[in-house]
Structure 1
């Protein structure tokens, strides 16, 4: 959400926000219930149960909104009725006194991770999950009678990868996202004239999706594990900085 340039930031009035938000929804829909709760971080939790003209609000499939006052960000869960999304956006925009809402291409089931990415707090939000004790070289059962030059080169390469990984991802645990999706649209390019693809006017479309219970930590471990070269592609490492895990890639 955004305000007009140069516009003063108003002090947040909780009662006015709640009243305005609820009135907008109830004027548009007869059967809707709205409840509010403020947590310890001063975030406003909003629970909206939607009904229709002919049915009572469905309390089993509500929509949750978490709004952080004095910031332009709100986090919205999946809406059971897609037709209610524009109304929900309008209520948020008017009640928070913003002029427009821009939907971010960022999704996750973990609110703390979304908040950490949006507010750039991931270096202080998450505790380390890696409590494993480093293995000693002598305990691996490997033949240690290797050429000293080979050992030195291997150590240098491991240190290089570690430096690049830490520079890219930081020394702290990553926010938890479950996927990153890339949609590619490109026209076929060839020096050879003719052919089915060369005459195709529509762009070629491709969808690539990376999934993991903890995607960013998985990406962070690829190079140290020897699965990928360091550094990784910026398309994979830019997720927190760009605040998005939905990407559309088109020809320039």
Structure 2
């Protein structure tokens, strides 16, 4: 076992509580029953790692087996680092006919054709997601398995989720995805979070949505005292309306656990006559960031409880409706400028 394999193995095991190491090694299924029984999980991590390494050398296991262990760990613990969403566009007529085997062959063929030294591993998860691990090298250096890129894609959907991708490798990965999925282009989805499950639930609409109905009413008189005899009924009516507006904007039940939403301002000061107050062409720039352990739950509670006025502003409801948590606000309204997108990439 070489130094890189040792480093990858040590990095995996040091992240896991001792009580969970045994279950991970069982799912890996590369150590014999006698070797598994010989491991003492009450000992310090470095001792456990040394014993596992000695068993791997005894069984002639190498980097290929260790990276397989890393993939098992990463699939079961996806909330490692930051995930970014990308969206495929311009689907070809036969895009819906792409099969897993065809996807694998074309994806690997393209990357192996443009990069001499690269390591690609793929696994299909139980939820039909394709997990891809890419260790990047170049024409002169071997793949770096300590900083792999992870890609998750559900076939026949337009979304791809990427973690730990360097800018210099982005064009190669995007080309491979476009070719393998039979699309014309791929763009930044402007959605990033630590939780892969939250990102997938939001974009694939895996949460309980609430749609406007014939009985929905907009709360016209806000923050005013009741002036009718049936004060209790009026309060209940106001609460129902606020709750309806909150659910229409952010859904009902458990929500995807996004942690942040970022709004970048690129505007100019303007007076009452809509003329700019300064002759300078520079934008007034600023950043507004909303943060919470569960941002959508917090926003829904603020609206439903009356802490925030309704109806919900499109700047907030766009998080669920457009599947984004990064916005650029210009003089023309919320959008994404090419300059801002380039800076973010």
Which structure would you say has the larger RCO, counting Cα contacts within 8 Å and 6 or more residues apart?
1
2:242 is aligned with 1:161: yes
Match of 2:162 among 73, 76, 91: 76
Residue from 130, 140, 160 that aligns with 1:44: 130
TM alignment of 1:1-252, pairs within 5 A: 1-3=88-90, 7-79=93-165, 81-123=166-208, 153-190=234-271, 197-252=277-332
CA distance in 2, matches of 1:122, 1:220: 14
| Post-superposition offset of 1:31 | 2.1
> Partner residue of 2:64?
none
Partners of 1:155 and 1:191 in 2: how far apart?
A: 40
Structure with more of its chain in helix, by fraction: 2
Aligned counterparts of 2:257 and 2:178: Cα–Cα separation in 1: 28
For residue 145 of structure 1, what is the aligned residue in structure 2? Answer: none
Report the alpha carbon displacement of residue 70 of structure 1 after superposing the two structures with TM: 1.8
Residues 190 and 198 of structure 1 are in contact (CA less than 8 Å); yes or no, is this contact kept in structure 2? no
* Structure 2 CA distance for partners of 1:171 and 1:71, relative to 1, 3 Å: closer
Shift of 1:242: 0.8
Deviations 1:96-126 (A, max 9, x none): 22111122111122222222222222128xx
- Secondary structure of 2:312's counterpart equals coil
CA contact (8 A) 1:180 1:246 kept: yes
Alignment: residue pair count = 225
Change (3 A) 1:156 1:10: closer
Task: Indicate the RMSD between aligned Cα atoms, in angstroms.
Answer: 2.5
TM-score by length of 2: 0.59
Q: Runs of 5+ in structure 2 lacking a partner?
A: 1-87, 210-228, 333-345
Separation in 1, partners of 2:184, 2:121: 24
- Give the direction of change, closer, same or farther, for the CA distance of 1:62–1:33 in structure 2 (3 Å limit): same
CA-to-aligned-CA distance 1:26-64 (integer Å, 9 cap, x gap)? 222222100000011222111001124443222122111
Q: 1:205: how far off?
A: 1.4
Gaps in structure 1 of 5+ consecutive residues: 125-147
- After TM superposition, the structure 1 stretch with the greater mean CA deviation from structure 2, 221-230 or 199-208, is 221-230
